[in-house]
A and B are shown apart, each in its own frame.
Chain A
C-alpha cells in the first residue's frame, strides 16, 4: 500500500515537473468570441399612488399597477455570432414583456365550454410569441452590415427592458413612440465615429406582420463627435404609420456625470394629429454603487381633436419629473423612484373621481440582470 502511495506521489511529482518544464512561450488558445450567449433579466416592483388610487393615473408604460407588489417580466435571450453571421432571439414572459408592450399579445377572453357547460379550455384571442427580438444579421464587409427580422426599435432613449433604462417608469415619448419594428436594414460604418442606417420596415409599428405592405422607411445617422458623446438622428416615416423624427443623445461629461437628451416629434397619418416633446436625463454617480438621476420631460399632444396620447388630450401638455436612484448590489439593482406629473388641464383624477392637474407616485423596483 505504501508502495502504491509512493508510486502515485512520484507520478504526480513527475507530472507537475513536466508541466512546469513546458515551453512557457506556448499560447493557450483563447477563443476569439464567447460562443453562445445567454442573457436576460427579471424585475418586480411595488408602486404607491400618492392619491391612493388603485388604477394607474399616470398612463405611461409599465409600473402601472398601483398599491401593489407586481411583476415586470422575465426576459430570456440567446445570441450567437459566428464569423460574419449573427442571430438574436429574445423572449419575455410577464405583463411588461407581453400585454403591456406587444400589442398582439395573447388575450384570454373567457373559456370554452363543453356540451355539459364545463370549462375545458381558455379562449385565446390572438397569438402571442412573447418576442422582443428575433433577427439575423450578416457582415457583408468590414463596414457594411445587413439585419432582418423583428427588432427593438432604433428610435428613442428608453427601451422595454428595465436593464436598458435608468428610470423604472417610462417617459411619454417612449410610451407613444414605436417599441419594435420588423424589417430589413443596412448599416454602414464610415468610421467608429460615424455610421448610417437605412431600412424598410412593416407598415405598422410593433407587429410581427405588416397590415398591408412593407412601406415604412427608417433611417439613423450616428455621430460621436468627441469621446463619450454619441448622438442618433432618427426618422421613421410611412404612409400608414406616420412620421417620427427623433434625436437621442448622451454625453458622459465626467466619470461621475452623464447627461442624456431625447427630443421627438410625431405626425400621425392623414393629418391625425401627433405629439412632440423633449426629456432631459442628468445622472450623477455619488459612489460606485449608487447613482442618482432625474428625468425632466415636456410632452404635448399636437392634435386639435381626436386621439389622446397617454391620456393627454389634444392641445394639452404635461410636465413630468422623475427622481430615481440606482443602487447596485451584484447583479441586482434597486430602483427607488418618485414621480410628479403636472398637466396643463385636468389630466388626472383624484380618489373621489374629480379631475386634477397633478399626479404623483412612488415606485420601488428590483431588477436582476444576467
Chain B
C-alpha cells in the first residue's frame, strides 16, 4: 500500500509547457470564496508555506515556501536540503486551478554548530538536476513534491467547498430591530 501511494505522489508531478515540474489540479468551487481567509488557512496548514497572499482582484492567491528533504532511516535521519516551491490558486466560473511549481533544491551542509543550513548561492531547479542530485534523490524529491501538491489540493478543496469559508453577503447578515417589540 505505501509503495503504490508513493508512486501516485510522484506521478502527480508532471512537466508543464515550460518544462517545469508541476502539480496541477482543477476543481469545483462554491462562489464567493474569502481569498484572504483561504490564504490564512493554507499558511496555517500547508507544510513550509512561508508567505501567501490574496491578489487585489480577488481571483488569485499566490505564495511560496520550502520543505525539508532528508535521508530517513529507521531511527535517524539527516537533512539533505530544502525543496522550495511556489503555489498559486486561480478562481473563475465556480472552479479553481491549483498550481504548485518552481521546485528548486537548495542543498544543505553541516555548519559549525552541528546543525544543517543552506550552502550559500547554490540552487538547483529539479528539472535541471546536476551532480548534486542523484536519480534516487530526484525520485524521492518528486515524491515529496507530489505529496505536497496532493495535500495542498486537499486543503483547497476542503476550504472552497465549505460554506463557512464564503464571504457573507449583505443579504445574509441577520439583523434585529430592538425598537420593535
- Chain A residues with a Cβ under 8 A of chain B: 19-20, 22, 24-28, 30-39, 77, 79, 86, 88-90, 132-133, 135, 151-154, 159, 161, 163-164, 224, 227-230, 250-252, 258, 288, 369
With both chains docked as a complex, state the minimum distance between the C-beta of B122 and any C-beta of chain A, in angstroms.
7
State whether A86 touches B5 (Cβ < 8 A). no
**Shortest Cβ distance from A38 into B: residue:** B76
Does B151 reach chain A (CB closer than 8 Å)? yes
Note all chain B residues with C-beta closer than 8 A to A88. 113-115
**Complex alpha-carbon distance, A86 and B120, angstroms:** 23
Note all chain B residues with C-beta closer than 8 A to A153. 112
**Complex alpha-carbon distance, A36 and B5, angstroms:** 25
Note all chain A residues with C-beta closer than 8 A to B9. 27-28
State whether B113 touches A25 (Cβ < 8 A). no
Scan residues 135-176 of chain B and give those whose CB is less than 8 A from a CB of chain A: 144, 147, 150-151, 153-154
Scan residues 1-31 of chain B and give those whose CB is less than 8 A from a CB of chain A: 1-6, 8-9, 11-12
State whether A79 touches B2 (Cβ < 8 A). no
State whether A164 touches B110 (Cβ < 8 A). yes
**Complex alpha-carbon distance, A26 and B147, angstroms:** 9
State whether B113 touches A37 (Cβ < 8 A). no
With both chains docked as a complex, state the minimum distance between the C-beta of A362 and any C-beta of chain B, in angstroms.
27
In-complex Cβ contact of A250 among B12, B114, B120 (8 A): B120
**Shortest Cβ distance from B116 into A: residue:** A37
State whether B154 touches A159 (Cβ < 8 A). no
Note all chain B residues with C-beta closer than 8 A to A228. 120-122
Note all chain A residues with C-beta closer than 8 A to B8. 24-26
Note all chain A residues with C-beta closer than 8 A to B151. 27
State whether B77 touches A252 (Cβ < 8 A). no
State whether B120 touches A34 (Cβ < 8 A). no
State whether A229 touches B121 (Cβ < 8 A). yes
**Complex alpha-carbon distance, A60 and B150, angstroms:** 55
**Shortest Cβ distance from B121 into A: residue:** A228
15 further A-B contacts with Cβ under 8 Å, apart from A27-B151, A30-B147, are A22-B1, A24-B12, A25-B154, A26-B8, A28-B5, A28-B6, A37-B77, A88-B115, A135-B113, A159-B112, A251-B121, A252-B120, A252-B122, A288-B130, A288-B131
With both chains docked as a complex, state the minimum distance between the C-beta of A283 and any C-beta of chain B, in angstroms.
12
Note all chain B residues with C-beta closer than 8 A to A36. 75-77
Note all chain A residues with C-beta closer than 8 A to B77. 31, 33-37
Note all chain B residues with C-beta closer than 8 A to A86. 115
Does B68 reach chain A (CB closer than 8 Å)? yes
**Shortest Cβ distance from A90 into B: residue:** B114
State whether A22 touches B154 (Cβ < 8 A). no
What are 29 A-B interface contacts by the 8 Å CB criterion? A22-B1, A22-B4, A22-B5, A24-B5, A25-B150, A27-B147, A27-B151, A28-B2, A28-B9, A32-B47, A33-B70, A34-B72, A34-B76, A34-B79, A35-B76, A36-B75, A36-B76, A36-B77, A37-B76, A37-B77, A37-B78, A79-B115, A88-B115, A133-B114, A152-B112, A152-B113, A161-B112, A163-B110, A252-B120
